Amino acid sequence: MTTVLVTGGAGFIGSHLADRLLAEHYRVISVDDLSTGRIANLSEARGYGKEFTFFNMDVRSEGIMPLFERHRPEVVFHLAAQAGVRPSLEDPATDASVNIMGLLNVLECSAKTGVGKVIYAASGGTIYGEPKRLPAKESSAQASHPLSPYGISKKVAVDYLGFYQRYRGLDFTALALGNVYGPRQDPRGEAGVVGIFAAKMLAGEAPMIFGDGNQTRDYVFIDDAVHAFVQAVSRGSGRLVNIGTGLETSVNHLYRMIADIIGFTGEPSYGPLPAGELRRIALDISAAPSAIAWKPWTHLEDGLGETVAFLKGI
């Protein structure tokens, strides 16, 4: 049985990934400091008994090395992060501490203990800055200017992965994720707007839209995103790969779609657009089929329907 480590394993994406890996008969070690992750997200994983182990630990801590030595993971999925744009604007140092120093601790431990590969959760929604051309290609990361400290830390991480591959023999794939949405999502995350809108509408309240609502994002469903991580275990060596749909969806359109699913008729209010937010993004996903044998299969209507059903407790 292959042992893998999932950092950020109690988070939105990390907990779904752990569930999927366990279903595929991997032994899963999960590390999370529960800063935004939740023990409740682990309930399915815990049903696997000894095949699943959880450590409440900070990825920057010295305790990470003994954990690598003891469990000897063959693959590391690095998802632990300060995962919000807004907190990074308020506190760039904390963002860098978790997202850069935390990554380096994990990479150092991986290189020293013979981990075969690190699969990294990069951010397609922020590392390209405001792209000159849409949809954004992976190659445009080289000359991009991220608008937030979060985007900067997620972009520099890919350079560190390249360094560890060249000089320390540690393979990697970096997945530039679009705005991932679905059951268990954290309203503070990049695609938080889906959970926030749906929760408000279900409570009979009209959500606020920041900006004019014409800003666009590339929304990708959680199951599709998780599938990309699994595909990358044996594919996509040394690559940055976009994981999205290639489609731009405006916040106004998203509002209408969620309102239609819920049967909500209220009109949104509009507030100022916070700094660090992009105008438009969509990811060019033409590389993913050959790089990691992946393409998205969930239509936005269906994914939003599942998310709303989850929030209703169905």
Ligand X SMILES: NC(=O)c1ccc[n+]([C@@H]2O[C@H](COP(=O)([O-])OP(=O)(O)OC[C@H]3O[C@@H](n4cnc5c(N)ncnc54)[C@H](O)[C@@H]3O)[C@@H](O)[C@H]2O)c1
Other C-beta atoms closer than 10 Å to the C-beta of 238 total: 12
Q: C-beta of 98: minimal distance to ligand X in Å?
A: 4
CA distance 143 to 163: 18
Q: Is 150 one of the annotated active-site residues of the chain?
A: yes
* x-marked contacts with ligand X along 59-78 as a string, rule CB under 6 A: xx------------------
Contact 176, 243 (CB under 8 A): yes
Other C-beta atoms closer than 10 Å to the C-beta of 212 total: 11
Q: C-beta of 54: minimal distance to ligand X in Å?
A: 11
CA distance 306 to 304: 5
Q: Closer to ligand X by CB, 7 or 264: give it.
A: 7
* x-marked contacts with ligand X along 83-122 as a string, rule CB under 6 A: x--------------x---x------------------x-
Residue 253: Cβ-neighbour burial (10 angstroms; 0-12, 13-18, 19+): middle
Query: Which residues partner with 179 through β-bridges?
Result: 219
Q: Residues 26, 150, 181, 255: which is the catalytic one?
A: 150
| Residue range at the interface with ligand X (CB under 6 A); choices 6-14, 65-73, 207-215, 248-256 | 6-14
CA distance 257 to 212: 17
Q: Closer to ligand X by CB, 182 or 268: give it.
A: 182
Q: C-beta of 267: minimal distance to ligand X in Å?
A: 27
Residue with tokens 């000089």: 167
Helix/strand/coil for 285: coil
Q: Closer to ligand X by CB, 35 or 249: give it.
A: 35
Position 131 contacts ligand X (CB under 6 A): no
Q: Closer to ligand X by CB, 8 or 246: give it.
A: 8
Q: Closer to ligand X by CB, 164 or 264: give it.
A: 164
Q: C-beta of 196: minimal distance to ligand X in Å?
A: 13
Angle at 216 between CA 147 and CA 184, to 5 degrees: 90
Helix/strand/coil for 172: strand
Structure tokens at 246: 């290639």
Q: Closer to ligand X by CB, 19 or 186: give it.
A: 186
User: How much of the chain is in helix, strand and coil states, percent to nearest 5?
Assistant: 40, 20, 40
Site for ligand X in 25-54 (CB under 6 A): 31-37
* x-marked contacts with ligand X along 166-205 as a string, rule CB under 6 A: -----------x-xx-----x--xxx--------------
Angle at 248 between CA 241 and CA 79, to 5 degrees: 40
Helix/strand/coil for 311: helix
Position 21 contacts ligand X (CB under 6 A): no
Catalytic residue numbers read: 150
Binding site for ligand X (CB under 6 A): 8, 10-14, 31-37, 58-60, 79-83, 98, 102, 121, 123, 125, 177, 179-180, 186, 189-191
